[in-house]
Amino acid sequence: MCCQVDVVGTLQFWDVTIDTATSILITLSVGLAVDYSAHVGHMFMTILGNREGRLTTCLRYIVSFLNVSKELLAHLSTKCSW
């Protein structure tokens, strides 16, 4: 709920008109944020080991995902002339 409020509030702040495309993008952004958080939480709960080891493994996963996402976005932004 909080993620949805943040996304919609930011769109309202930017004076974005809520139409069909915006609604689809809101649904996707909130869904992906919740899905990613659920996967990280599930990983933390299912990895064997002590709390510090599970935390280290989850943080490595998050950092590797963010690095790949950053590289992918950089690549896409150079290919798409926005």
- Give residue 57's pLDDT: 85
Q: Is the pLDDT of residue 5 over 70?
A: yes
Segment 45-70, tens digit of pLDDT: 888 889 888 888 888 887 777 666 66
Segment 20-47, tens digit of pLDDT: 888 888 888 888 777 777 888 888 888 8
- Give residue 59's pLDDT: 80
Q: Is the pLDDT of residue 82 over 50?
A: no
Q: How confident is the model at residue 3 (pLDDT cuts 50, 70, 90)?
A: low
CA distance 49 to 64: 21
CA-to-CA separations, 56 to 17, 49, 70, in angstroms, rounded? 42, 11, 21
CA distance 64 to 56: 12
